Structure 1
């Protein structure tokens, strides 16, 4: 069992690891790996400009939506999906420079009068295969792993419900649930975090989710060539790549940099890998230059502590 100090370090690592991966990947988002290597070499420091033309260390929708969730949990002391949906809508109305298509469409439905239960479901049902299971709910869901780490059944329930606000596809809902159960297992020092989570949820997991985690379960550090990772915005490939880098890398920095160097959806793959690595290694394993560059660092630290103290 992890000590109180260990859990606090790992909880801070979840949120700051997510934000660091997001900000490190933002400037090279959508770029192929060969172009990233040509222009920047190995990306180990926060870059300015690039995709979205923002200053170095700027977070994107990945962290901004995670902040919406964390603030709601901290303010209410419980999961309130209507409040979280309202915070998402308010954030969208602020004009973020980056927002996913499915997220934007579902939130627009809520703005237009649909309930949060209806909006995500209706958006999913009217979206064609290939554009209906993005990673927009996976990227933001990590705060639940802190607040509900000691109540695994409730953690699965809230992870799925929160996903359904914008991403109701079962692949998205169950990816969030499996991801958060894995993070919670890391927080509480479970010896086999992903294997234990997969076994517990196996009867409900869609075939695609199970297929994505199987090669990760079989991997060890140094065997990267055995896993054919993809860098798309599909929730299944993002879950696989994020878990793989986060669980098999030798250091937190290696996990996040390797994820970003895949190219493609670099901010989200970096964020998912960062949340895993930050939990696994603790906040102090993140290179100090990374969190120091984040304008939201103090709030992320504060929220991690508040989420630990929720009596969920």
Structure 2
């Protein structure tokens, strides 16, 4: 399996999870079961998750490993803010607050601190391209995601993005799900909310092996969800639930994503993260054909700058860049047994 195949699988999986989860966003698991049983078919296009991931990939194409928060802030000012003439449709609290902070002349990291919503999953939802760019190197993937995140997030919001980027980087090297989740945990402090929630979610999946979906969903909500909080876009929660879905699905894209969106809460983001990680592991052929057929160019409803772009073209751009500048690391995707037979790839 080539780096390009895994890159295309990752971003297709992200877009499919985003689209599949969109109608279930903010619903309870019980309401999702009542409406669909198990949601398995894409009803409409995706949300800001896919558009922001495409935007993040464009930063890597321009700056590569030299990316800094100043570069990200400059891109917002040049490409995002001038086109925001009204509400940013579908954008999260953190991104809306970031635009306001940049308009006031603030610079990172204050742009991610000033709006008080730094804990959101806005970075986690768009962090997959950093893992695609750093196959087999979770630490570098996490570092690059943090450069992006310091513009819009703080604290646990940054850690959530680090964890997702690291998980994708490990999956891009062909590691099995348990090692992929361990890679995510390796780049966040052990005493962080993100690490604790992910650990509890992993334990719930292990303990609940053999349970029906409803019982496992209930166990994961009990382990991770903050029920009294009115918003569902908490990064530690979304990341933990997405990685749990990936484990429950044993890395299979369809099983991981359909279970992810059945969890409700921020279902499109949970589905997008689970789809990105599973897709990186399984490659383009691991994405159900009927899902791939429904993924078209994004509309730019939230980010007009990416209108008309397709995730497959973005994946090809990233892959060409990696194969040109770091062919040894790109080769990790073609030798998935290396991490198991000879020890983990560099960075794990």
Query: What range is the shorter-chain TM-score in?
Result: 0.7 to 0.9
Name the CA distance, whole Å, in 2 between partners of 1:180 and 1:205.
17
Match of 1:260 in 2: 261
1:168 to 130, 136, 154: 154
Coordinate RMSD, CA, aligned: 2.5
**Structure 1 residues 166 and 282: CA distance shift in structure 2, 3 A:** same
Name the CA distance, whole Å, in 1 between partners of 2:134 and 2:264.
32
Match of 1:121 in 2: 113
1:210 to 163, 185, 195: 195
SS state of the match for residue 23, structure 2? helix
Q: Is the 8 A contact 1:106 1:120 kept in 2?
A: yes
Name the CA distance, whole Å, in 2 between partners of 1:136 and 1:73.
18
**Structure 1 residues 153 and 100: CA distance shift in structure 2, 3 A:** same
Q: 237-246 vs 219-228, which deviates more? A: 219-228
Is 1:190 aligned with 2:186? no
**Structure 1 residues 40 and 65: CA distance shift in structure 2, 3 A:** same
Match of 2:18 in 1: 22
Aligned pairs for 1:9-158 within 5 A:
9-47=5-43, 56=44, 58-78=45-65, 79-88=67-76, 90-91=79-80, 93-94=83-84, 95-123=87-115, 127=116, 132-158=118-144
**Structure 1 residues 20 and 159: CA distance shift in structure 2, 3 A:** same
Unaligned runs of 5+ in 1: 48-55
**Structure 1 residues 99 and 244: CA distance shift in structure 2, 3 A:** same
Name the CA distance, whole Å, in 2 between partners of 1:160 and 1:206.
18
Q: Is the 8 A contact 1:179 1:239 kept in 2?
A: yes
Is 1:287 aligned with 2:288? yes
Deviation, 1:34, is: 2.3
Q: 31-40 vs 135-144, which deviates more? A: 31-40
Name the CA distance, whole Å, in 2 between partners of 1:201 and 1:41.
36
Name the CA distance, whole Å, in 2 between partners of 1:21 and 1:216.
19
1:185-244 deviation line (CA, Å, top 9, x unaligned):
11112352222453x436x34432221222454445646756523563211111111011
Name the CA distance, whole Å, in 1 between partners of 2:25 and 2:138.
33
Deviation, 1:42, is: 2.2
Deviation, 1:284, is: 1.3
Deviation, 1:67, is: 0.8
Name the CA distance, whole Å, in 2 between partners of 1:228 and 1:41.
18
Q: 110-119 vs 297-306, which deviates more? A: 297-306
**Structure 1 residues 206 and 149: CA distance shift in structure 2, 3 A:** farther
Name the CA distance, whole Å, in 1 between partners of 2:122 and 2:171.
23
Corresponding residue pairs, total: 290
Q: Is the 8 A contact 2:198 2:241 kept in 1?
A: no
Aligned pairs for 1:225-236 within 5 A:
225=215, 227-229=219-221, 230=224, 232-236=232-236
Name the CA distance, whole Å, in 2 between partners of 1:210 and 1:40.
32
Q: TM-score when scaled to structure 1?
A: 0.83
Unaligned runs of 5+ in 2: 226-231, 299-308, 327-348
Name the CA distance, whole Å, in 2 between partners of 1:154 and 1:196.
12
Is 1:304 aligned with 2:315? yes
Aligned pairs for 1:266-277 within 5 A:
266-277=267-278
